[in-house]
Structure 1
Amino acid sequence: MFGARCIYVSLRRCSSAPCPRHAATAKLLRVQEALEVHNPTENDIKVQGWVRSVRSQKDILFLHVNDGSSLESLQVVADPGLEPRELTFGSSVEVQGKLTRSPHKRQNVELAAKSIRLVGSCDVLTFPLKYKTRHPLDYLRQFPHLRCRSNSLSALLRIRSEATAAIHSFFTDNGYLHVHTPIITSNDCEGAGEVFQLKRATEDGEPGENPHFFDVPAFLTVSGQLHLEVMTGAFTKAFTFGPTFRAENSQSRRHLAEFYMVEAELAFVDRLQEIMQVMEDLFKRATDAVLSRCPQDVGLFHQRVAPGQEGKLEQMLKNQFIIMSYTEAVEILKRSPHLFSYKPEWGLDLQREHEKYLVEHCGGIPVFVFNYPYDLKPFYMRDNEDGPHHTVSAVDLLVPGIGELCGGSLREDRLDLLLSRLQRMGQEDTYQWYLELRQFGSTPHGGFGMGFERYLQCILGVENIKDVVPFPRFPHSCVL
């Protein structure tokens, strides 16, 4: 390192706010001092990024440069003679100079520039992002190719990255095997029929040729669950984290055609409470990690986008999640003085307004609702065989502002009951392989899935799910 002519520095390392994953500013200055000791003529630091502001005075030039690694920009101080032509807000630059202590209270360090190279100019007259303008999220949504350069979207993408790492860390630390489940599948896991079917770009073929590329109809996956269940025949714990797809014709703030799902499956599990505990632990640990690693980025959303969300999130993290049965939930809704658009009745699915009320009724603490009616849930959920109110061992986690965040269940591991249900559905042949899993060393098992974008909405307080994903896909919109 000391033999190099310059060091490339991530601007996050120069941030005035401490970050547990990166060296403090003092360490940067020690690096600078060490360079001077070892080779006083080769002590430059080089930064590359985009100009957030330009202020040229008679005797001094000020630039603020950001490279996307931090919400904060690095102040560059230079002689006006170093200013390249066409240097404007939004330009990309490479600056070389000496990192020094800053005399200003709002920043710890600044870069005394020796050279400024304009890498790419920016036409500020037509650039949709304007200097010193706080653009609303719905405005930025019009420019998916440019919005990552805004503070809000760059902060969101750093949070997504850290949340992804935290989720992987949670599962790895708890002994889960990470499995890449397929995106292309011949199964519709949910059975709702809202799937994207794959077809060749051209339908032309030889007479009698099988029209299906894979010889059978194939779809974009709605869930990796069934493939994870395969893994519970050899591994006690497995998880997957990847894109899933739903062909729902919905323009709501809660739905995307392409979104990411975190899914886990556990063998030798026969109590629904064990699944609930993993859900709660995952939510709290991942959120704690994001808050500690991205305090400024999360703060931007809590201050500018969703004031009051910080207190709500603290309430979620410090309290144990509440558990109630579906039957109890329906009774609470029926006794409510609130006038619902959909009348709550046993045997009907809970609507978002019902989920929202239940969480509010519980003081803003997330709520597990378990043991749903048998007829509401997919074939793979374990039958409770519990009389008139026939239920399955299913659970949904409801959170403030979102409603359902996680859904899970114990899986039906009894071959006779599973076979009987598939026969009634006329799906015995389709799921013959699934039946065989129950014949060869099966165990009681269960699992759950969590919508990643909904999780981000929950912790940040973002109302529209299209604003927590870099390239949203929804009906009539597939830009880029």
Structure 2
Amino acid sequence: MFQSAAETLSVALTVSRALLSNSRHYCKKTPTVLRVSEALSGAELGTNVKVQGWVRSVRPQKANVFLHVNDGSSLQPLQIVAGPELNDPLLTFGSAVEVTGILRKSPHQKQPVELEADHVHIVGQCNPVDFPFKIKERHGLEYIRQFPHLRCRTNAFSSLLRIRSEATTAIHSYFKENGFVQIHTPIITSNDCEGAGELFQVEPSASENHENENFFSVPAFLTVSGQLHLEVISGAFSRVYTFGPTFRAENSQSRRHLAEFYMVEAEVSFTQSLEDLIKVMEDMFRSTTEHVLAHCAEDVNLFHKHVTPGHRDIVDAVLKKRFPVITYSEAIDILNRSSEKFAFPTDWGCDLQTEHEKYLVKHCGNIPVFVTDYPYDLKPFYARDNQDNPEHTAAAVDLLVPGVGELCGGSLREERLDLLRARLQEAGLEDTYSWYLDLRRFGSVPHGGFGLGFERYLQCILGVDNIKDVIPFPRFSHSCLL
């Protein structure tokens, strides 16, 4: 027989309730996995979620246990509220956990949301007595540097790593938006771009090495710069850049040098002006810094408040003014008129030392300053000869910044075949760099480029004194941990 309308509606309601019940049951069984930063955004309020991370604090009370959990996606941890039945002696500072429950709006102003836990699973135990970092203690950069395998667990270093990642993204974005093509230049090379001889030679292990035989048939080294390879590509692409590790076998324990560090290098074709390079350097610096300040505000503030107090004022001042440009000769004159007592000489023709660079920055108002037209003999074979008299200078430029000194170094490249050949012959390098002369024989154009030390850039914007504190795993003489 046919059902009445009332009976049909009753059946429909019963089916709907069953589907809704099954849906709720299914949601409970399959919580949404969120990163801490996603949970803090409040996008999944009222839903069943799972958060995975490491315990930053534990506060047991009679009615509840309060945990702070982080997974590296945010400086701020997520507060977990768990019933006393979920407390566990193994739930300690540093332990790794998975927590499921309902994400709720927090009644407290200090955090926007909190997770009402219905299950806490301890994934990895941590003995807080042996753990070198203690709860509620603020450890200095020098102390945490002793534990390269664990320092990413601290707030300061996790902030540094997020800033480093965001700065990398900003640099790539700047070049992409300005028409540069990224080139992967080789790590292993047969040339010494800088000519300083500070090279790590690459050889097979002893068990594989055949006496008096090179694996590559020629001596090979870890790269000190990708510049010469970028110059090759700039013969067909007008704007190119690379961003990768470079190596210097410099036996130094200073706060400014590493054996392995990252370089941002760019090459621009069809330019005869240092001003073109200066514009790219300054624009990239500003664009990257503004991006980092906007996208990593909490992380940067942690440094400027607790690690390098007062440095934010310097960064803000840097972004408000255009960077002045002075010549090397003007720089020497400023140094010689100074009442400062320098350890190194300041005669025309001497190389500028760190103490000179820092003084010039302060003299110019403690903002970055470009120094141009260095003595020709101070620069490598590829720097363009200005052919000026009586001062013999090269079309080269360095960017000096507060607290660091030299950040960028660049030059116009010598595109004139006769002058380049004469310079190589003088240095006894004509045969070694015959391929480089070919670049000038076949469709050569005026061009130039620069390199920026990425770790020094991070030191500059954060105010960090030691370069070893802005790279995940520092390599320097007598130290290659991990």
Q: Tell me which interval the TM-score lies in, with the shorter structure as reference length.
A: over 0.9
Match of 1:397 in 2: 399
> Which 10-residue stretch deviates more, 127-136 or 392-401?
127-136
Distance in 2, matches of 1:263 and 1:107, equals 42
Q: Counterpart in 2 of 1:284?
A: 286
Counterpart of 2:353 (choices 351, 354, 369) is 351
Shift of 1:14: 3.9
Equivalent positions of 1:381-460 (< 5 A) are 381-460=383-462
Equivalence for 1:8:
33
Task: Quote the Cα distance in structure 2 between the aligned partners of 1:14 and 1:165.
Answer: 23
Q: Distance in 1 between matches of 2:300 and 2:441?
A: 49
One-letter amino acid matched to 2:259: A
Bigger CA radius of gyration: 2
Q: Choose which of 256, 259, 278 in structure 1 pairs with 2:258.
A: 256
User: 1:60-82: CA deviations, max 9, x gaps?
Assistant: 11010011111101000010101
Quick one: distance in 1 between partners of 2:313 and 2:44? Answer: 35
Match of 2:302 in 1: 300
Tell me which of 66, 90, 103 is aligned to 1:99. Answer: 103
Return the letter of the residue paired with 2:37. Answer: R
Match of 1:340 in 2: 342
1:212 corresponding residue in structure 2:
214
C-alpha distance after superposition, 1:272-325 (max 9, x if no partner): 000000000000000000000000000010011111110000111110000000
1:155 aligned residue: 159
- 2:68 is aligned with 1:64: yes
Q: Distance in 2 between matches of 1:374 and 1:177?
A: 30
Which residue is equivalent to 1:136? 140
Partner of 1:361: 363
SS at match of 2:114: strand
Distance 1:68 1:153 in 2: 10
Equivalent residue, structure 2, for 1:74: 78
User: What residue in structure 2 maps to residue 233 of structure 1?
Assistant: 235
Q: Which residue of 2 aligns with 1:319?
A: 321
TM-aligned CA deviation for residue 343 of structure 1: 2.3
| 1:287 counterpart SS class | helix
Instruction: Give the match for residue 196 of structure 2.
Output: 192
CA shift, 1:342, in A, is 1.2
**Structure 1 residue 245: deviation in Å?**
0.2
CA offset digits 1:322-358 (Å, max 9, x no partner): 0000000000110111111112110000111110110
Distance 2:189 2:268 in 1: 22
- Alpha-carbon RMSD across the aligned residues, in angstroms, is 1.4
Residue 40 of structure 1 is matched in structure 2 by none
Deviation, structure 1 residue 84: 3.2
For residues 169 and 289 of structure 1, the distance between their equivalents in structure 2, rounded to whole angstroms, comes to: 10
Deviation for aligned residue 1:85: 3.9
- Shift of residue 13 of structure 1? 2.7
Deviates more, 1:77-86 or 1:313-322: 77-86
Over the matched positions of the two proteins, sequence identity in percent amounts to 63
Which shifted more, 228-237 or 195-204?
Answer: 195-204
Range 453-462 or range 50-59, more displaced: 50-59
Q: Secondary structure in 1 aligned to 2:76?
A: coil
In the alignment, structure 1 residue 52 sits paired with structure 2 residue 56: yes
Alignment partner for residue 268 of structure 2, among 266, 269, 289?
266
Which runs of no fewer than 5 residues in structure 1 stay unpaired? 16-23, 33-42
- Deviation track 1:33-83 (CA, whole Å, cap 9, x = no partner) reads xxxxxxxxxx41110000011111111110100111111010000101012
Deviation at 1:162, TM superposition (A): 0.3
TM-score by structure 1 length?
0.93
Deviations 1:226-283 (A, max 9, x none): 0000011110000000000000000000000000000000110110000000000000
Cα 1:115–1:326 change in 2 (3 A) is same
SS at match of 2:69: strand
Amino acid at match of 2:55: V
Q: What TM-score do you get using the length of structure 2 for normalisation?
A: 0.93
2:374 to 372, 375, 383: 372
> 1:337 & 1:57 partners in 2: Cα distance?
64
Closer, same or farther: CA 380–75 of 1 in aligned 2, 3 Å: same
Superimposed CA distance per residue, residues 340-379 of structure 1 (whole angstroms, 9 cap, x where no aligned partner): 1112110000111110110100111110000000100000
- The one of 110, 125, 130 aligned to 1:126: 130
* Residue number in structure 2 paired with 1:35: none
What is the distance in 1 between the residues matched to 2:452 and 2:93?
40
Task: Give CA deviations for 1:379-415 in whole Å, capped at 9, x if unaligned.
Answer: 0000000012100000000000000000000000000
How many Å separate the matches in 2 of 1:224 and 1:287? Answer: 24
Q: Could you tell me which amino acid in structure 2 is paired with residue 456 of structure 1?
A: L
**Corresponding residue pairs, total:** 457
Residues 133 and 382 of structure 1, relative CA distance in 2, 3 Å threshold: same
Distance in 2 (CA, whole Å) between partners of 1:361 and 1:352 is 14
Corresponding residue number in structure 1 for 2:121: 117
Q: Distance in 2 between matches of 1:218 and 1:8?
A: 48
What CA deviation, in whole Å up to 9, does each residue of 1:130-154 have, x standing for no partner? 1111111111011000000000100
Paired residues of 1:84 and 1:116 also in contact (CA < 8 A): no
Partner SS for 2:118? strand
- The answer to whether the 8 Å contact 1:84/1:117 transfers is no
Question: Aligned partners of 1:354, 1:249: CA distance in 2, in Å?
Answer: 22
**Aligned: 1:173 with 2:177:** yes
Whole-Å Cα distance in 1 between the matches of residues 147 and 208 of structure 2? Answer: 37
Report deviation, 1:211. 1.9
| Alpha-carbon distance between aligned partners in 2 of 1:336 and 1:416, rounded to the nearest angstrom | 41
